[in-house]
């Protein structure tokens, strides 16, 4: 039985992958260190976690509610992801699939700024192997441009543990990968060589992130920029279109009003079609003890 | 030998930080923010159509077993239950997806709190392979989105040290009180009654119940009865009557749990081995009522 489980043990995801394979070592160590009571509990834990996969049919290995319909599960997943995407769109007045601000008067008003004028941290990067390259600013496009169809998020290894943090705007993060091919290669190369990933381009002054121009103010702005940075991994794939980082949000209305417009009483009676979805965490509710 | 021990002791814990534990502002801040992380409604009444309270208990019991078998940190289980309740308060979920949700919540809580987190593969094995690691990772994103990425929820464990240090107990008694209180907290997390209670109240009630329980064999406390409850209530600004009610409920849940355990014990079909993994936390059995 342990032999059967071993492959699964090896094929760890994300963070685990970086760790040394402790399995066999700790088995040996366990004998060597048995006298040390200080590390006994740690040993116990290690043994339980790694050495002999103890899941050899322990009573805890059980299916609680019968077989899972994987197709139904997948449909439900798509639905929930679409909800989250719609929610993000509402929240930011921004279409993350097309990387365009929503037209019409919304809660936020987006203003285009030159991507050169923001700290490097907020700019698009592209990951090539273990390197992360800064993209050159692209010419101002006209109109919505050709945006690739939003792909099914299921195609992406959504482990959320790896290099790129899974972004809240799941829809855009899931854009299919015709990316690097579609990207004009020179745009990636002209600005920076292959620096180690996350390193800022050489052209940038060392403190560009801090000393940058006065940031345009509101919390919404920096949050929006942060979102764009998070969504960056996907947005880079659509070079012809404008980028979220080309826009910054300005709060149109004063904060309290905006907040109250979001508020949904007690999560049970959300207005509109989607009952209670997403309303749950909107506003902390004060409760009397 | 020394070197070997260091090498083996991979589970690293921070030492207790006096700046965090002995500063009242930390306690006050915890009390201020704790209610933000409570589920927004009693979801069996208004959100869930398929899921019944007994199913929550089933999945909670299973999660506790997994956490104990994997020797997770104490906070992992209550934190995972917090995620589960908050998700269910907003998203109608069919019962066949409940175990997947429980696994995702453990996955997230473990990543937040542990140096060696649970792996997706392991959790899937614990569902008797009724779900696939890929599904778990995909749903991780949904749960994160629905929780608005607010994972650092306040749990009852956050209050334990703050409460214990203000009690006039002899310091040699504290480890036992702490251990019992932790067991009570886990017990509370399995019971939906407590899901809407502020974590500080559960922590205070658990410490109270632990001291009362231990008092019967031993002279644990210089305070008795009402004086103890008054002091506890003062520490966490909890209403005395609420606290008394909470403590009584905890004792009832403990009693039920013990009875359940004795029934299981009477059931001859279970082997000694299985009993060891029974859902009742080990320590509960040691408490003599």
pLDDT at A16: 36
Pick from A32, A67, A266: CB nearest B4: A32
How many domains does one find in chain B?
2
Question: For residue A125, what is the enclosing H or E element?
Answer: strand A125-128
Q: Which of B282, B281, B204 is nearest to B249 (CA)?
A: B204
**Per the domain annotation, does B282 fall within a domain?**
no
Judged by CB atoms closer than 8 Å, whether chains meet at B125 and A5 is answered as yes
Do B183 and B106 belong together in one domain? no
Do B258 and B161 belong together in one domain? yes
Band the pLDDT of A100: cuts 50, 70, 90: confident
Please list, in sequence order, all residues whose beta carbon lies within 8 angstroms of the beta carbon of residue A119, skipping any fewer than 6 positions away: A208, A209, A210, A212
Question: For residue A201, what is the enclosing H or E element?
Answer: none
Do B143 and B63 belong together in one domain? yes
Q: Within the 216-245 window of chain A, which residues sit less than 8 Å (CB to CB) from chain B?
A: none
Do B86 and B140 belong together in one domain? yes
Judged by CB atoms closer than 8 Å, whether chains meet at A267 and B40 is answered as yes
Do B114 and B191 belong together in one domain? no
pLDDT at A56: 57
CB contacts of A29 in chain B (<8 Å) are 4, 7-8
Judged by CB atoms closer than 8 Å, whether chains meet at B10 and A43 is answered as no
**Per the domain annotation, does B243 fall within a domain?**
yes
Residues of chain B with pLDDT under 70: 1-10, 216-223, 266-289
Cα separation, B254 vs B261, whole angstroms: 10
Do B181 and B207 belong together in one domain? yes
**Per the domain annotation, does B9 fall within a domain?**
no
Cα separation, A198 vs B133, whole angstroms: 29
CB contacts of B55 in chain A (<8 Å) are 64-65
Nearest chain A Cα to B7, which residue?
Answer: A29
Q: Span A244-254, mean pLDDT?
A: 55
Is residue B175 less than 8 Å (CB to CB) from chain A? no
- Single out the residue in B112, B128, B147 at which a domain terminates: B147
Do B139 and B238 belong together in one domain? no
Band the pLDDT of A34: cuts 50, 70, 90: very low
Do B168 and B260 belong together in one domain? yes
Do B252 and B160 belong together in one domain? yes
- Single out the residue in B116, B147, B178 at which a domain terminates: B147
**Per the domain annotation, does B15 fall within a domain?**
no
- For B3, phi then psi, to 5°, come to -60, -40
Indicate whether A238 pLDDT > 90. Answer: no
**Per the domain annotation, does B44 fall within a domain?**
yes
CATH number of the structural domain spanning residue B188:
1.10.472.10
Do B185 and B135 belong together in one domain? no
Is residue B237 less than 8 Å (CB to CB) from chain A? yes
**Per the domain annotation, does B18 fall within a domain?**
no
pLDDT at B135: 96
Judged by CB atoms closer than 8 Å, whether chains meet at B126 and A276 is answered as no
Pick from B41, B97, B274: CB nearest A73: B97
Residue-range definition of the domain harbouring residue B94: 40-147
Cα separation, B123 vs B100, whole angstroms: 9
Q: Within the 128-147 window of chain B, which residues sit less than 8 Å (CB to CB) from chain A?
A: 128, 130-135, 137-142, 144-147
Q: Express each pLDDT in A192-219 by its tens digit.
A: 444 444 443 443 343 433 333 333 444 4
Separation in Å, CA A239 to CA A97, A122, A166: 13, 16, 20
Comparison of pLDDT for B51 and A266, the residue scoring more: B51
**Per the domain annotation, does B117 fall within a domain?**
yes
Do B94 and B166 belong together in one domain? no
- Single out the residue in B147, B168, B190 at which a domain terminates: B147
| Minimum distance, in Å, between the CA of residue B288 and any CA atom of chain A | 26
**Per the domain annotation, does B12 fall within a domain?**
no
Is residue B281 less than 8 Å (CB to CB) from chain A? no
CB contacts of A19 in chain B (<8 Å) are 116
Angle (CA) B133 B137 B142, round 5°? 140
Please list, in sequence order, all residues whose beta carbon lies within 8 angstroms of the beta carbon of residue A6, skipping any fewer than 6 positions away: A23, A53
Do B175 and B143 belong together in one domain? no
Band the pLDDT of A73: cuts 50, 70, 90: very high
Q: Is the entire prediction scored with pTM above 0.80? A: no
């Amino acid at each position: 039985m342990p032999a059967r489980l071993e492959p699964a043990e090896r094929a760890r995801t994300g963070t685990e992958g970086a760790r040394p394979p402790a399995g066999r070592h700790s088995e040996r160590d366990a004998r060597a260190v048995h006298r040390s009571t200080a590390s006994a509990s740690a040993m116990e834990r290690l043994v339980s976690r790694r050495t002999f996969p103890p899941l050899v049919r322990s009573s805890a290995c059980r299916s609680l509610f019968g077989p899972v319909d994987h197709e139904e599960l997948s449909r439900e997943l798509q639905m929930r992801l679409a909800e989250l995407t719609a929610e993000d769109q509402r929240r930011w007045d921004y279409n993350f699939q097309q990387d365009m601000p929503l037209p019409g008067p919304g809660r936020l008003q987006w203003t285009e700024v030159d991507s050169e004028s923001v700290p490097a941290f907020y700019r698009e990067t592209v990951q090539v192997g273990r390197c992360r390259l800064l993209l050159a600013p692209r010419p101002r496009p006209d109109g919505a441009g050709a945006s690739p169809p939003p792909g099914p998020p299921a195609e992406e290894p959504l482990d959320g543990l790896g290099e790129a943090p899974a972004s809240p705007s799941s829809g855009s993060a899931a854009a299919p990968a015709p990316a690097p091919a579609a990207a004009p290669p020179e745009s990636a190369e002209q600005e920076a060589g292959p620096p180690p990933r996350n390193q800022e381009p050489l052209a940038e002054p060392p403190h560009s992130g801090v000393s940058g121009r006065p940031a345009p103010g509101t919390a919404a702005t920096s949050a929006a920029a942060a979102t764009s940075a998070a969504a960056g991994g996907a947005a880079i794939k659509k070079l012809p279109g404008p980028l979220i980082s080309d826009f910054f949000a300005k709060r149109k209305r004063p904060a309290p009003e905006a907040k109250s417009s979001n508020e949904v009483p007690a999560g049970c009676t959300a207005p509109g079609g989607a009952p209670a979805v997403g309303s749950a965490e909107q506003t902390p509710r004060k409760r009397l003890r | 030998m020394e070197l070997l021990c260091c090498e083996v002791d991979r589970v690293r814990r921070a030492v207790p930080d006096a700046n965090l534990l002995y500063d009242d502002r930390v306690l006050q801040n915890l009390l201020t923010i704790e209610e933000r992380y409570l589920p927004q409604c009693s979801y069996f009444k208004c959100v869930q159509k398929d899921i019944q309270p007994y199913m929550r208990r089933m999945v909670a019991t299973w999660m506790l077993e997994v956490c104990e078998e994997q020797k997770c940190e104490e906070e992992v289980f209550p934190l995972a239950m917090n995620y589960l309740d908050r998700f269910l308060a907003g998203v109608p979920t069919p019962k066949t997806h409940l175990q997947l949700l429980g696994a995702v919540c453990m996955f997230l809580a473990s990543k937040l709190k542990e140096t060696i987190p649970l792996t997706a593969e392991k959790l899937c094995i614990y569902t008797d392979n009724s779900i696939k690691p890929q599904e778990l990772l995909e749903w991780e994103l949904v749960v994160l989105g629905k929780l608005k990425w607010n994972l650092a929820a306040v749990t009852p464990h956050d209050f334990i040290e703050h409460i214990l240090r203000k009690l006039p107990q002899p310091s040699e008694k504290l480890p036992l009180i702490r251990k019992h209180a932790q067991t009570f907290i886990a017990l509370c997390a399995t019971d939906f009654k407590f899901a809407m209670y502020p974590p500080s109240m559960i922590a205070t009630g658990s410490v109270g119940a632990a001291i009362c329980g231990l008092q019967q064999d031993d002279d644990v406390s210089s305070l008795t009865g009402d004086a103890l409850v008054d002091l506890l209530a003062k520490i966490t600004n909890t209403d005395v009557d609420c606290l008394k009610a909470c403590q009584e409920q905890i004792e009832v849940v403990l009693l039920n749990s013990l009875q359940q355990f004795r029934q299981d014990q009477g059931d001859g079909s279970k082997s000694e081995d299985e009993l060891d993994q029974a859902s009742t936390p080990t320590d509960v059995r040691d408490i003599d009522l």
